[in-house]
Amino acid sequence: MTVIFDLDGTLIDSAPDIQAAANTVLSEAGARPIDLAEARSFIGEGAPVFVSRMMTATGLGDDPALHAALLERFLSLYDTAVVLTRPFPGVAEALEALRSRGWRLGICTNKPAGLARAVLAHLGLAPFFDVVVGGDSLPERKPHPAPLLQTMKSLSATRCLYVGDSEIDAACAHAARLPFAIFTEGYRKTPVESLPHDYRFSDFAALPDIAEVALRAAAE
């Protein structure tokens, strides 16, 4: 069986770097900065949606030309935004445990694929993953199931557990009809109970055993 992960808010806490990039753009545009809680709440559906939410929150409106300019500037900063990003506690150990048990691992994220690979490499996590599918890998983004199904296909997987932290991830797994484990300490905005999920965890030490339970359930 295979485990596929979301990235931001699931494996890594990238919000501080994203906030810093956003605030540089906002300062240049003459707008107020956003705080870390706002940055976290805007993450999940890719950079264009993040910039739209950032513009709305700071009174910059929704002008398409301004959005395009701010998005271009944001992406220029976002491409190297890794200084403040850290894995959540226990991530590396959990990935090592999964690989040692023979699991294949992949990434399915709305972050651009090149940036996702760069962040994983910077944090020393890249060797764990056989496939990375990003928000620019297909015409569709999560919560559409196509990226998750493509990740499975690239891994030659017939059974899969998807691990994420957000409403977008829950909806994606549900649409793909795959079992979903939610990391409760990520960027989720609504109660866990309101989201479709099969497993939940707050400590990555629990994940290898959850994966084994999911494997047995899939085999029944």
Gap between the Cα atoms of 163 and 210, Å rounded: 10
Gap between the Cα atoms of 175 and 171, Å rounded: 6
State whether residue 86 is helix, strand or coil. strand
Which residue in 6, 17, 165, 169 is the catalytic one?
Answer: 6
Cα–Cα distances in angstroms (integers) from residue 156 to residues 64, 149, 151, 159, 160, in the given order: 40, 10, 9, 9, 10
105: amino acid identity, one letter: L
Q: Which residues contact 183 (CB under 8 A, 6 or more apart)?
A: 9, 10, 88, 163, 164, 165, 201, 202, 204
Q: How many CA atoms lie within 13 A of 25 on its CB side?
A: 28
Q: Is 6 a catalytic residue?
A: yes
* Residue numbers annotated as active site: 6
